[in-house]
Amino acid sequence: MDLRVKRAPHIDTEITVPGDKSISHRAAIIAALSNGVCHIDGFLNADDCRRTLEALRSLGIRIDEPEPNTIVVHGKKRMLSPPAREIDCGNSATTMRLMAGLLAGQTFESRLVGDASLSKRPMDRVIAPLRRMGANIMAEGAEETAPLLIRGGSLRGIKYEIPVASAQVKSAILLAGLFAKGKTTVTEIAATRNHTELMLRYFFVRTTRGENGTVGIFGEQVPESRDFSIPGDLSSAAYWLTAAAAQPGGHLLVRNLGLNSTRTPVLGVLVRMGAQVREAVENVDQLEPRGVAEVTGAMLKGTVIQGKEVAQLIDELPVLAVAGALAHGTTIIRHAQELRVKETDRIAAIAHNLRAMGAQVIELNDGLEIHGPAPLRGSRVASFGDHRIAMAFAIAGLFAEGETIVQDAECIEISYPGFAKAIEEFISPKHAQASTRVIGSLSLSPMAE
């Protein structure tokens, strides 16, 4: 499927975005381990998250879907059943890595497989700690890649320092720690998303938080069943927030948005680049803060993104690179070598597509140097089968002269069903649904700094 994009007129609107992808995976898994029935609203009904649902069903968990974005998970007190066949994770590295942690503590054998892209992604980072805990895991692919054959067993708690900042690896170890004897602690070299820790705490699992980024969990606990509502995904909202930020005078408000502090650094980058950004937390009842984010656009200026903040911006870097091409001056992204091992080599993909649209880009080993502002021209650009590359360059198309065609854009369904319809509403606002209202005056928190 090709996605065709044209220059957007003045942006002045209000939207919501689908449920948070990271939280959806974790809520389903922890609910499945709980001691009862859990109603989860706002679940992201996208391919990646559905892979996690089907994986749990194959392990004997009943999951009802009374409405498109609501699931009812019948927890089985950590008692899972052997799968009748291999578990297909599709393109979802989150599914594969988190399920590896879950399956490491089972008494049966299981096999995790994925598509061609997932089968190239590194799994040694999760295999190594799980082996140390006592699991028998064999990577059937070259260089410790999928498929993964897991023979679970009796696990023991460990102390582990993660060599590469990864919320997925941290989460896999914590999930395995639920089945281990003693305490499992994980230390991060840079802070990553903390959704798993918050979710475990919400389900009354005893965890600890120490200095220097250390998270601990005590083994052999059963989560208490609870209902949960998932907020909108800030990584999905980042595409529209960036578009509004890069359009002088553009104005966008996103409601019911997850505002977890490990996810909001993208707003800080937009502020550094010159946009006006406000956020207001409206609800913290379920540990995941949610509220509204508002952006007023400006002529952006280049910035430097590097160091520890990169770990919390990894999903937003493709669209921030597009913002860099539209900004005055130079934008430098460093210490982002993790982009090389995503669904595609995102550093190479970003550089390739920006050049195709007329931007000046230098590709670095661990990032990019982007010289702006570039008068972007409409072009035919590749998605490389990567949903975040496809969406980032659809946003670039909103600022390009002529038509931009994003090829093989069906991969967007992995994380953002409805993206194509949403971008059409930005291109042709007269066709927007009545529920998408023009922003009025709002009383929000002071501008982010």
Which residues, in sequence order, are CB contacts of 292 under 8 Å at separation 6+? 253, 254, 255, 256, 257, 279, 280, 282, 442, 444
Q: Which helix (H) or strand (E) holds 277?
A: strand 276-283
- Measured between alpha carbons, how far is 435 from 367 in angstroms, rounded to an integer? 40
- Tokens describing residue 248: 């002088």
- Measured between alpha carbons, how far is 325 from 332 in angstroms, rounded to an integer? 11
Q: Contacts by 417-421 with C-beta closer than 8 Å and gap 24+? A: 417/18, 417/45, 417/46, 418/18, 419/236, 419/239, 419/391, 419/394, 420/3
- Measured between alpha carbons, how far is 290 from 258 in angstroms, rounded to an integer? 4
Contact status, residue 383 vs residue 389, Cβ threshold 8 Å = yes
Pairing of strands 87-88, 70-74: unpaired
Question: String of b and e for 107-137 (b: at least 16 CB within 10 Å)?
Answer: eeebbbbbeebbbbbbbebbbebbeebbbeb
Residues marked as catalytic: 315
Residue 324 phi, psi (nearest 5): -60, -35
Which residues, in sequence order, are CB contacts of 171 under 8 Å at separation 6+? 26, 97, 98, 101, 195, 196
* Closest of 422, 412, 419 to residue 48, by C-alpha: 412
Task: Order across the sheet with 360-364: list the strands.
Answer: 304-305, 329-333, 367-372, 360-364
- Measured between alpha carbons, how far is 154 from 53 in angstroms, rounded to an integer? 25
- The helix/strand/coil state of 275 is coil
Locate tokens 């509403």: which residue? 425
Amino acid at 369: E
